[in-house]
Structure 1
Amino acid sequence: MMASWVDFALIMCAATFGAGAIVCAARWIDHRKDTQAARSVDSVAGPVLLFEGETLLDATQDALGMISAHLDHMTEYDAAIHTLSAHFPDLPDALSDTENPVQRLGNGRDGNLWLDIERMGTRLRLSVGGEEQAIGFGARDLIERDTRMAELATLRHLTQHTPQLIWQDDLTGKLLWANQSYLTFCDKLRATEQSEQPVWPKQSVFPDLHEASFSAVPSTRRLSVPLADQKAEQWFDITSVRRDDTVVHFANDANAIVRADQERRNFVQTLTKTFAQLSIGLAIFDKRRQLAMFNPALLDMTNLPFEFLSGRPTVDAVLDRLRESRMLPEPKDYASWRDQFVALEQAAKDGSYSEVWNLPEGQTYRVTGRPHPDGAIAFLFEDISAEISLTRRFRADIETGQAVIDKLPEAIAVFSSAGTLVMANEAYCDLWGPVEQDQVQPQQLQNAIQLWQERCAPTPMWADLRSFIHLLGTRKPWSARTLFEDGRPLKCQADPIVGGRTMVRFSFAPAVSPVARKVKHADPALLAYKR
């Protein structure tokens, strides 16, 4: 009994499912027939494209012709979307809607065309359909027309709102077309004219432009236009391209570039004038180690020809010419000379090169290397021959003066007004001991007086001598006597000399021999002694 009920239930379910399937199939067949009938009566198929992902699998001839204009810079998929979007603006949004495998987009303008979108897994089918009249007129032509109109509107918007001056004229210079920036600039040039309504320019803004010949290859030139309300000029970089019997011009504002170039030229001229007045020779080598700049002093100091230096020689070439003209210190061997200047270049990069060149002809140059931006190196040549000669002569004078006072028998010491020992002769060192010539901490008067006091009899004369040495203004010679440690009388004399200095001299009094004198009168003492 239970089995019969189960069998009966299964039979009823199968019958119900079969009946439903039959009804659905009948309705689908009827709907398909209606759709096909409607399409056969009201519409005609147009361009069709079939994609696998973004790869084109198949397309009708009119579909290929529809996208062929964009295949030079787009893929087939992008060209199809770009072309169809101009006529069906909702296409990108519809493609992003993956939940609806079948969609139809209508043409918002007149509705006589539509686009069917069908997804079958990874495949995408785009079919353009429409009424027989529209398809007969040419769906591809309509879509291409809409695409061109959309591109034309974009180009028109760009040309009218770009800050670049764009215009077209014929070969005689007659203006045929101009964008808004060009017309606005023309109005600025006519600012002095009283005109309420804008008028088409009667003549070209750049009259000198038409004196040149043009070709299909773009050519660029820089021209200026004087403004009506300003003393300055407006500069433009103009690119011209010829097309048949017309020329299209594109003008970019070049004021900033011209101003920067002018400031750079002024700066270079200022540097050039400054360098020309310098007595120091200047040679600047760029990062390729070619001579980029030099001043007249370098010509005078090195005796190198102007033609040679103006040819942008390298560092090695300049050094070779200097060596040939005996304007370099002669090394012991050529190899060490080359190694020396390799080190010279490296040291100049670090800004640490500074050397004195004693030339064979007797001149003395101080050469300094300084690094500059972008790897450039500047060498400064300073003639210090006069300075070296003066130093040598001054040193010789000092040595001569020292030799002279060393020959004097008196012990001599010279002190400054501050009490610093400036110099002393050999007799002073023999009398008081050697003097250490320390440039950092020279001997002071206080130390010298302490030594003198220790080796002489007690006397207040040293305090007077200290006051005399530190005294400013006009002074008269001072002298005093004392006994040396061995009992000999010692004379000390201080004389003021130039610069507030004081020369102190020490000498021993000569020994006095007894003198016998004849007594002319009787000496009472002797008479008393004889008694």
Structure 2
Amino acid sequence: MAIGVGIGAGLALLAGAALLSWRKVKIKPQFGAKIGASPIAILFREDLVVDSTDSAKFILGQGNSFGTKWAEVRDRLLDQFPLLPETPKEGENRFFSELDQETMLTLTKTGATLRLEIFTQPITAEHVFEFRRKELRNQRIEAAIETSPNPIWEMDEKGDVIWFNPAYEKICLDTGNKVGRECPFELAPLTGTAMKSSRVSLPCDDGTRRWYEVSSKPYNYGWMHFACSIDNLVDAEMAQRNFVQTLTKTFAHLPIGLAVFDRERRLVLFNPALVDLTHLPVDFLSSKPNLLSFFDHMRENRMMPEPKNYSSWREQLTNVVSAAREDRYCETWTLPSGLTYKITGRPHPDGAVAFLIEDISAEISLTRRFRSELELTQSVIDCFEDSVAVFSRLGVLTFSNSAYRAQWKCDPDSAFAEITIIDATKDWQDACDPSPIWSELREYVLTLRDRSAWTSELTLTTGETLICHVEPVVAGATMVRFSQAAISAAPGTISPVANG
């Protein structure tokens, strides 16, 4: 059965079909449909095309369209008329275009016969010019999508793929997946109207996986998906994770406690030594507490000095973090238990900060013991009536007693610089009558050869006689002792010290 149609309606179908040729670009035409204009018509019997107007070829395609199924025609019209039913109802049903509410499609079903008509207004020269402008725009958009390296595809409400670009087809072929209605990307069911984002991977034939960030946006009662390759990002995250694991294994054997806080002041890394030193539960540390909570728990466990003013405690912690970020925080904590901790703050990239907690109790104890022994030694030599001075292998004065300070008017503790054997012999020489021993004494102190003890008599400018005793001691040091002369001897002579 032949169905006549006007030339104006044919031109309208040309415009509509061209828009449908690129289904992804929604451009609302400036021309609409006026009810009563000559329609584009297709006649179906038992869901197969049996007749159509010439202008309908823009929908059905060139050549023999008889026998085309209703489902195929529906698929070609869904972009503009998304509410077309899979099975038309009896009677007349009207559907308005998504692109132009003045363009109308009617389905009239009578038994096994179905009549499809599209009504639109005649096209003017203005409409043709506007259509040509938008067609050029569509071509640019089509070229951009066709050449895009990122896969783009559309899925209907059932989850079937109904359109895709060449990049999607390529990734399907590269990963050994069939190009069809089934999507190779395993996406979670999508609901709502907001854009969704998910990270998925595709297994490849060589055993590797390709990672993509898929953004999904509702479109035409379905979803439009955009995939972006993130292989480099995943590789970087994996490398960072491996690096952190390596650091964790390394820090696990360190006796120094390590606590690293990120820029949000959350604990992101710690080692077993931190658990041992702070006595904080592992589950608490694993929960990524913030920095204030971390130090609060240390205070509650009495693993840090109790703050004198608790109201300003948190402000003090803020100052601690600021100092650590500037690499100038270092404190020594004496705990109620008697332990001594050294706390050091170090800045890290991206605003992170690390705290090192070291138990220096043994070091402090050793230092105190050494200081006590030095004080004991000093008190012992201060009891001597003779003036005593000890010079190191390098000729630096390291020990002297109170008698020496009083006799030679010398206070090494208040001296600006170190006192050497040269400085000391000048003082001695100025206070004594001329004697030939001073150069020999300086050479004796600085020599690396084996040495023997010796003595010499000196006469002070006051007329008092002294005996100078020079003896080697441990570590290449030399002790010089001045005592009152018990007997008179020839000045300037050197007498060896008798053995035995």
Other-structure match for 2:210: 234
CA distance in 1, matches of 2:155, 2:309: 73
Other-structure match for 1:165: 151
Task: Please say if residues 261 and 267 of structure 2, whose CA atoms lie closer than 8 Å, have aligned partners that are also in contact.
Answer: yes
Other-structure match for 2:333: 357
Whether 2:270 is the aligned partner of 1:325: answer no
CA distance in 1, matches of 2:265, 2:197: 35
CA distance in 1, matches of 2:179, 2:485: 114
Task: Please say if residues 186 and 205 of structure 1, whose CA atoms lie closer than 8 Å, have aligned partners that are also in contact.
Answer: no
Deviations 1:74-99 (A, max 9, x none): 99xx953999xxxxxxxxxxxxxxxx
Whether 2:355 is the aligned partner of 1:379: answer yes
Whether 2:24 is the aligned partner of 1:80: answer no
Deviations 1:441-462 (A, max 9, x none): 1222223223323333332122
CA distance in 2, matches of 1:206, 1:392: 77
Whether 2:205 is the aligned partner of 1:222: answer no
**1:407 positional shift:** 1.9
- AA matched with 1:499: A
Distance 1:214 1:335, change over 3 A: closer
Distance 1:232 1:372, change over 3 A: same
Task: Please say if residues 284 and 378 of structure 1, whose CA atoms lie closer than 8 Å, have aligned partners that are also in contact.
Answer: yes
Whether 2:387 is the aligned partner of 1:401: answer no
From 166, 179, 199, the equivalent of 1:180 is: 166
CA distance in 2, matches of 1:216, 1:236: 22
From 262, 267, 274, the equivalent of 1:298 is: 274
5 Å matches for 1:376-525?
376-438=352-414, 440-510=416-486
CA distance in 2, matches of 1:355, 1:452: 45
Q: After alignment, is 433-442 or 409-418 more displaced? A: 433-442
Distance 1:466 1:240, change over 3 A: closer
Distance 1:167 1:349, change over 3 A: closer
Query: What SS does the aligned partner of 1:278 have?
Result: coil
CA distance in 1, matches of 2:322, 2:191: 52
Distance 1:441 1:204, change over 3 A: farther
Task: Please say if residues 223 and 238 of structure 1, whose CA atoms lie closer than 8 Å, have aligned partners that are also in contact.
Answer: no
Task: Please say if residues 416 and 502 of structure 1, whose CA atoms lie closer than 8 Å, have aligned partners that are also in contact.
Answer: yes
Distance 1:408 1:289, change over 3 A: same
**1:413 positional shift:** 0.9
From 283, 290, 307, the equivalent of 2:259 is: 283
- AA matched with 2:253: Q
- AA matched with 2:269: M
- AA matched with 1:462: W
Query: What SS does the aligned partner of 1:277 have?
Result: coil
CA distance in 1, matches of 2:153, 2:292: 55
CA distance in 2, matches of 1:305, 1:419: 55
**1:253 positional shift:** 2.0
Task: Please say if residues 412 and 428 of structure 1, whose CA atoms lie closer than 8 Å, have aligned partners that are also in contact.
Answer: yes
CA distance in 1, matches of 2:280, 2:170: 58
Query: What SS does the aligned partner of 1:431 have?
Result: helix
**1:414 positional shift:** 0.9
- AA matched with 1:344: V
**1:470 positional shift:** 1.9
Other-structure match for 1:139: 122
- AA matched with 2:341: Y
Task: Please say if residues 212 and 229 of structure 2, whose CA atoms lie closer than 8 Å, have aligned partners that are also in contact.
Answer: yes
CA distance in 2, matches of 1:333, 1:157: 70
Other-structure match for 1:50: none
CA distance in 1, matches of 2:480, 2:254: 48
CA distance in 1, matches of 2:381, 2:316: 45
Other-structure match for 1:36: none
Query: What SS does the aligned partner of 1:437 have?
Result: helix
Query: What SS does the aligned partner of 1:163 have?
Result: coil
**1:215 positional shift:** 6.4
Task: Please say if residues 453 and 470 of structure 2, whose CA atoms lie closer than 8 Å, have aligned partners that are also in contact.
Answer: yes
**1:222 positional shift:** 0.7
**1:503 positional shift:** 0.6
Distance 1:162 1:481, change over 3 A: same
- AA matched with 1:160: E
- AA matched with 2:279: N
- AA matched with 1:179: N
CA distance in 2, matches of 1:463, 1:457: 15
Distance 1:137 1:301, change over 3 A: closer
5 Å matches for 1:246-265?
250-265=226-241
Deviations 1:35-66 (A, max 9, x none): xxxxxxxx9999xxxxxxxxxxxxxxxxxx9x
- AA matched with 2:447: L
Identify the structure with the greater helix proportion. 1
Task: Please say if residues 387 and 404 of structure 2, whose CA atoms lie closer than 8 Å, have aligned partners that are also in contact.
Answer: yes
Deviations 1:436-488 (A, max 9, x none): 32464122222322332333333212222222112212111122223344545
**1:216 positional shift:** 8.1
**1:293 positional shift:** 3.2
CA distance in 1, matches of 2:456, 2:200: 94
- AA matched with 2:275: L
Deviations 1:229-250 (A, max 9, x none): xx74433344678999998765
Distance 1:408 1:172, change over 3 A: same
CA distance in 2, matches of 1:369, 1:82: 72
Structure ranking higher on relative contact order (CA contacts 8 Å, 6+ apart)? 2
Q: After alignment, is 285-294 or 357-366 more displaced? A: 285-294
C-alpha root-mean-square deviation of aligned residues, in Å? 4.7
Q: After alignment, is 201-210 or 467-476 more displaced? A: 201-210
CA distance in 1, matches of 2:268, 2:186: 39
How many residues get paired? 381
Deviations 1:171-201 (A, max 9, x none): 99998765333444455567xxxxxxxxxx7
- AA matched with 1:411: S
Unaligned runs of 5+ in 2: 1-5, 10-15, 34-118, 489-500
Unaligned runs of 5+ in 1: 1-42, 47-64, 84-135, 191-200, 513-531
Distance 1:189 1:326, change over 3 A: closer
